Amino acid sequence: MNNDILATLSITDATRKLATKEISSLDLVRACRANIERRNATLNAYLEVFDDVEAQAIAADTRRAMGEKQKLLGIPLAVKDNILIEGRRASSASKILEDYIAPYDATAIKKLKDAGAVFLGRTNMDEFAMGGSTENSAYGPTKNPHDESRVPGGSSGGSAAALASGMALGALGSDTGGSVREPASFCGVVGLKPTYGAISRSGLMAMGSSLDQIGPLTRTVADAKLLFEAMRGQDPLDSTSLDPSFYKEGLQRKKIGVPRHLLARGVDADVLKLFEETLKRLQEKGYALVDIELPSAGLALAIYYILMPAEASTNLARFDGVRYGLSRRGESLFDDYACTRGEGFGPEVRRRIMLGTYVLSAGYYDAYYGKATQARRTLSRECAAALKEVDVIMTPTTPSPAFLIGEKSDPLSMYLTDIFTVTANLTGNPALAVPMGEVKRTKINLPASIQLTAAHGGEATLFSIGREIEAV
């Protein structure tokens, strides 16, 4: 089997071929490496490819020969640079953690190791997962494999680009406001933001702790299910992680809710057209479309850009140059901190830390953080009520296809890309991004994506309807 076919197999297909000994893990790893050698210098998807990947693959093949049959045995995956793998560098694409070596495995990584996965390397991202384009990396931007003048989305842009260019069979990202789903949309792959608490956050570098979730990026919905099931579970190291009994049975009502009031403006006409066509095809398959109202959803982005910086500024206070990372000496103790953090953090991270500091400061707390907390509860209640009537809520994943590198230089215009994705993080609901076709920009086809949001623990519903979308 040639490398191009091997490197673009779904995990599900690769697992079957590995089981029948038609291919080996080493074949898969070599196929991915061939693409890495060909394109990574340009795309900048990986920050580092581990030098022991072939040894990992050979070990997996040996284990299979000995009769081991773990679900992901020998499957090569890419991992976002903010998820800890013991003994490997993990920098969150920041200068402040340039030389940081992870002292332990994230729980999600430990579970994937138990399932037999091979780790190819760590992927580029927006620094500390702050951004929607992977332009905020301290190690240079990642480019979109479909069109190298465009961004791959972010913040898990390296993972999405690696997968879309055949440099991995699957990838891990983290999603605080859309950071798995938006790059999945821009690169034409599947991305899942699980229910808050589904996958342990232990070993994921914290940005917004009440919003963060690790999520898989994959070629198919079946693959997303496979990785999700390998990683989920209650963990004593994350007190917000959920017991497996939380998960609900699959779909019941065949009803899709569409919040049309959110689509009235700001959505690219071609994306909207694909969205309507996808809905129509689902209708032909027997799904009923229901107009739903989420009156507070228009405020979701405003709520998010108060709560996320507030939590991030608190979480990033740990970078003081004492226990790990960059350490600079100034004139005074205050200067030690200010120099270390001023030099170690990039512009977007500093902007969000200052914004978080502002909304949490004594005089403004009630007007911003307090109001946002209240609005978050109202929004959660509205979503919960809607999801009592319908199986999923559908919108496009992003209002437009991938934009040009450098196009959104104003931070607020970049934030608006998250308009459809932040709600699921605020409410804790699971959401899945599935490719829904392509739109043409300057003669190049760019992927577009549809987002499905289900009730808490409703991942089974997302997978079942997601498969129907893939099939149409």
Partner 1 sequence: MYYDAMVSKEEVRALAQLARLRVSDSEIEGLQKDISNILEYVGQVGSIVPNKGETQVLRAQNVMREDILYGPATGLINKGKELLTAFPKREGDYAVVRKIIHKDE
Q: Measured from the CB atom, is 284 or 410 closer to partner 1?
A: 410
Distance CA 117, CA 13 (A): 15
The least CB distance from residue 255 to partner 1, in Å, is 26
Q: Measured from the CB atom, is 356 or 457 closer to partner 1?
A: 356
The least CB distance from residue 54 to partner 1, in Å, is 26
Distance CA 230, CA 5 (A): 25
- Residues in Cβ contact with 207 at an 8 Å cutoff, skipping those fewer than 6 apart: 128, 129, 130, 174, 176, 308, 311, 312, 315
Catalytically annotated residue among 24, 80, 202, 296? 80
Told to judge if 409 belongs to the known catalytic residues of this protein, a careful annotator would answer no
Q: What are phi and psi of 28, to 5 degrees?
A: -65, -45
Distance CA 145, CA 81 (A): 19
Q: Measured from the CB atom, is 84 or 192 closer to partner 1?
A: 84
Distance CA 162, CA 171 (A): 8
- CA dihedral over 130, 132, 136, 142, signed as positive or negative: positive
Count CB-CB contacts under 10 A for residue 144.
32
Catalytically annotated residue among 156, 174, 179, 185? 179
- Residues in Cβ contact with 341 at an 8 Å cutoff, skipping those fewer than 6 apart: 96, 319, 320, 321, 350, 353
The least CB distance from residue 131 to partner 1, in Å, is 14
The least CB distance from residue 112 to partner 1, in Å, is 14
The least CB distance from residue 97 to partner 1, in Å, is 10
Q: Measured from the CB atom, is 13 or 98 closer to partner 1?
A: 98
Encoding tokens for residue 417? 């890309």
Told to judge if 179 belongs to the known catalytic residues of this protein, a careful annotator would answer yes
Catalytically annotated residue among 155, 200, 202, 449? 155
Q: Tell me the residue ranges of DSSP E strands in 142-236.
A: 170-175, 190-193, 213-218
Which residues are known catalytic residues? 80, 155, 179
